[in-house]
Chains A and B, each alone.
Chain A
Amino acid sequence: MNPTSPRGGGPCGRAVNAALGAAGLAAFLALGEAVPRLGLVEERFFPPTSRIARALVDEFADRAFWTDLGDTLTGWALGLAIAVGAGIVAGVVVSVVPYLREATASTIEFLRPIPSVALIPLAVLLYGTELRSVLLLVVYASFWQVLVQVMYGVRDVDPVAEETARSYGLGTWARIRHVLWPTALPYVMTGVRLAAAVALILTVTAELVIGAPGLGARIAVAQTSQAVPELYALIVVTGLLGLLINVGARSVERYALAWHQSVRGEVTV
């Protein structure tokens, strides 16, 4: 019963990495300040960092901004939840039912590469600028990410583990729950992480193009009213959202997969 040792450098190496990361970010922000100030690009299209930061603070003070942010997060979370739920159920069913994977493979390969944005006209026709429009696009794009990962995961079930479960009388449902699901979980987590990123992209795209309320629509308004610093501030917000989503997904992954090789690292026996 030896404890696991964390992978990577010690606390010292981590501190150095954090310092380097902070320095890199500071340099990038300074460059963003200097380039327009030196007149290398037109300030009208590329405001300096400080001006964007001020616009960001103004946005934070605006209640309408928070409403829009809430709308975007609602579309993202609902769409992602539906896609993950449907992707997991469909992935398990397709893999468990005999011959179903072979029968559906070609259809899936055809539907999966269709860019979700190609469905925008359809979404508008069906639901106008409602939330459902956004959901249609988000779910379509994220569903495949989850489905494909679940199908990979199910294929990874160890025959010895499966036979062990059968020899101890575990029925189909118990084997799905105790063998198939834990085996597929690392893949599911990857699928969810990918889907979360894609869902954000599609939420903002849908709002931007269709005009459904949210950060995307707010960006469109900033563009038409020539509010360039605000435009940049909103782009920064979407970037921060993406970052938070990724960090969140990774910590959920680490927690749920503490037992898995990729998380537990090398074991010293």
Chain B
Amino acid sequence: MHASLVVSGLRKVYEGSGRRVEAVRDLTFTVDAGELVCLVGPSGCGKTTLLKCMAGLLAPTSGEVLLGGRRVSGPPPGMAFVFQEYGRSLFPWMRVGENVELPLRQKKLGRARRGELVADALESVGLADAAGAYPWQLSGGMQQRVAIARALAYEPEVLLMDEPFAAVDAQTRADLEDLVRRLWRERGITVLFVTHDIDEAVYLGERVLVLSASPTVVQEQLKVDLPAERDQLHTRVSPRFAELRTRVYEQIQAAKRGEPAVEDVPPPR
């Protein structure tokens, strides 16, 4: 269940009605197998475009994405996507259990195996008894947990998350961040987590990739050398956390001004 993700020379240009928009210019980076990488960048920098190209939902103009060495040309079976808009990503006409099970039915898994995976995934996100409810009967945070459970049950090698917690309240968000850390450590899935929240990126990631403003390139890569055991109370007040977030913040400000990477603070890499 381990696969690396390689993005090389990725470029995406949208063409339509006489306008050409270069959303992503030239992106190259690697997410190692079993790594949790956070991607931050100024708003409108093409994060969603990048993620959709990686997920095989959009065809890049040039360059390629490799998942476990295989070129991505359509949605790959070993990849799951968690969207920001959980309310629209879950199907309101299906119960929670059915929502989680649907991708497994497409995988042609047997009924018993599907039942196991659904129960296990819902248990993992703390919603073991919500299988019979409809998504719209749940709170926003619970709905996003269901979307995460659906991704887990799919048994992906790589999990792509597109600003998944941007629309939930702060406390729920903290809980969900800890959930993602825990699931990543338990299951060893490769995770690429896109966010616009610097604190979230530093708290969650083993590494933070900072993107430049559009047309997008990688502005900076930063190793997060915080201990593996993190908690909301202590990690966030540690001096190292403050240094790292300052560093990321400066990089993003530089990216917004269109400057090259800031070099003054020595980052341990």
Contact = CB atoms under 8 A, between A and B. Distances in A.
Interface of A: 1-4, 158, 160-161, 163-164, 166-171, 174, 178-179, 182, 185, 259-261, 264, 267, 269
B91 interface: yes
Interface in B95-137: 102-103, 106-107, 130, 133-134, 136-137
B193 interface: no
B228 interface: no
A161 B88 contact: yes
Interface residues of B, number: 30
B154 A164 contact: no
A168 B133 contact: no
A160 to B, nearest CB: 4
Given A182-B91, A259-B93, A169 B136 contact: no
B137 A267 contact: yes
Interface of B: 52, 55-57, 75, 77, 79-81, 83, 85, 88-89, 91-94, 102-103, 106-107, 130, 133-134, 136-139, 150, 154
Contacts of A174: 106
B85 to A, nearest CB: 5
A179 B57 CA distance: 17
Contacts of B137: 1-4, 267
Contacts of A167: 55-57, 75, 79-81
B91 A170 contact: no
Contacts of A269: 138-139
Contacts of B154: 168
Contacts of A160: 83, 85, 88-89
Contact of A1 (B55, B56, B130): B130
Contacts of B77: 169
Nearest to A171: B106
